[in-house]
Every structure is written in C-alpha cells, then in structure tokens.
Amino acid sequence: MMFMKPVLHELPYLENWRWLSRRIRCALEPDEPRLIDHYLAEGRYLVCCTETSPWTVAMTAFRLLLDTANDRMLPWHWRCLCLDQAWRPLLDLRNLDRCEHNQRWQPYAMQLANCVLLPSISPEELMQGLEEDE
C-alpha cells in the first residue's frame, strides 16, 4: 500500500510562501526574526501537503537567504540573521541528497562556508550620489 500525501490546491500556499520571501528579501520587517522561521515552516508545509518538490523548496530558501545576506543595501543585522539561518535549507538539501546518494548539495555548502559579508551601505553613502547630481 502506497502512502499518498494529500494534495491541496497549491496556488494559495505558494503565493503566501512567495509573499513571505519578498518580505525577507526586501527586509520589509528587519526587526522580526520569526519571519524566517515562518517562511521555512511554510516551505515544509508546501512539501508536505502539495506536489511542490522538496529540492525546489530547499534550494529556493537557501538562495533567498544567501542572496539577502549578500545584499549591501539591506540592514546589517538582517543580513547577518539571514546568513546565520542559511544552514537550515542547506541541511534539507544534504538530507535529500543522502536519499539519492548524490553530492549536489556540496557546492552550496562551499558557497555558505566562503560567504564574506561586506558592510552594508549606509544611508549617508546612498545620499552622496544625490548631492553630486544637483
């Protein structure tokens, strides 16, 4: 007997997950670290209850967190938090690879291990370009 996961209509859940990702990527709530937990939990829900690929969810979450961490336009503390949490979807990638006896996750582990955050651009630096143009 094969276990079948319940298939819900994916679109509303996927849209919610994407909205959470935009809130993270744009640092719309940089003082709300639970937003990342909520996003990762929604990704697990998508995998559990829809036909969404677990690899796609984990890879998307990893890229989101690493790209956000490297975005110098965002607040430093938010970028550090995203970098600190990027291991979570990377662990999911590793566990998925173990099931298939692959090593696809290793280049991503190297990206995370070698990630060096440059300082965020300060609001004063952003305004300097405007003063020169006037």
What tens digit of pLDDT does each residue of 67-92 get? Answer: 999 999 999 999 999 999 999 999 99
How many other C-beta atoms can be found within 10 angstroms of the C-beta atom of residue 4?
6
How confident is the model over 45-61, as a mean pLDDT? Answer: 92
Say which DSSP state 103 is in: -
Contact 96, 53 (CB under 8 A): no
C-alpha 99/C-alpha 87 separation (Å) is 19
Q: What total of structural domains would you count in the chain?
A: 1
Does the pTM surpass 0.75? The reply is yes
Containing structural domain, residue 112: 10-133
DSSP 27: T
pLDDT at 106 over 90: no
Residue 85 domain-assigned (yes or no): yes
Note whether residue 4 is domain-resident: no
pLDDT band at 9 (very low <50, low <70, confident <90, very high): low
Does residue 2 fall inside a structural domain? no
Whether 59 maps to a domain, the answer reads: yes
Q: Is residue 88 part of a domain?
A: yes
Report if residue 81 sits inside a domain: yes
Task: Give the pLDDT score at 4.
Answer: 46
Say if 86 falls within a structural domain: yes
